[in-house]
Amino acid sequence: MAEFLQMAVVIAVLYIFYSVTIKKWNYSTEAQRKERRTLLKKRGLSNTFYFIHDKTLFFLNAASGGLFTFFWLFRQWQAVKAGFKRTSGAPLKYGPFLRTFFGLVTFFSLNALISRTCEYMHKKTPLPPIVWSTLWIAGLILVLFATGYGAKIFGYLLWCYAPCALQHRLNAFPTQALDPRPKPTEIAATVISLLLAATGYVFLRTTLR
């Protein structure tokens, strides 16, 4: 119960921060809108992303021991790398493999990139990186270190859901509805991820005895 209360407080504080800062941004004049769009282009946008039905993403994440998220990160960074643009013309540093390996950090920058692109394209943006990235990491911490099963389950659901929240905003871009059926590569990635998660669990249980 204590873990639930702590998480509730964290979520409330982050949302309040979002409500009184970023959510309140208002560009009422044409000059302000142009200035904002110029800033977005300077920081960098992408015209390509990886698309998967957000409910399918959640199911595959949950069914894979939470490791399908890293396959999703790889495919997102792979697509972004091909479509990244900014005013300076400088390409995105580091490749999709390295960005996936450091996914616990690059999730933040992916969230920021998606938010910028959604804003530029006049689509509804996800919550700011400080919110979803913190909640995503908090979910992992609960899974690994919480003592109660309720807190662990809550953390696992949070870990699996955070990427879906970003994907839900991205899925406003395609003009056609996405097929909810997973692709063969996604099914294979889910199976491999589940095997890796099971192997890691057994190894930790054996080592920590």
Residue 2 has a pLDDT of 56
Give residue limits of the domains in the chain.
42-207
Residue 4 has a pLDDT of 56
| CA end-to-end distance (rounded Å), the chain | 27
Residue 203 has a pLDDT of 81
Q: Which residues of the chain have pLDDT under 50?
A: 20, 24
Q: What is the dihedral of CA 186, 191, 196, 199, to 10 degrees?
A: 170
Q: Which residues contact 5 (CB under 8 A, 6 or more apart)?
A: none
Distance CA 41, CA 114 (A): 13
Tens-place pLDDT, residues 77-90: 999 999 999 999 99
Q: Which residues contact 89 (CB under 8 A, 6 or more apart)?
A: none
Residue 174 has a pLDDT of 92
Distance CA 81, CA 96 (A): 7
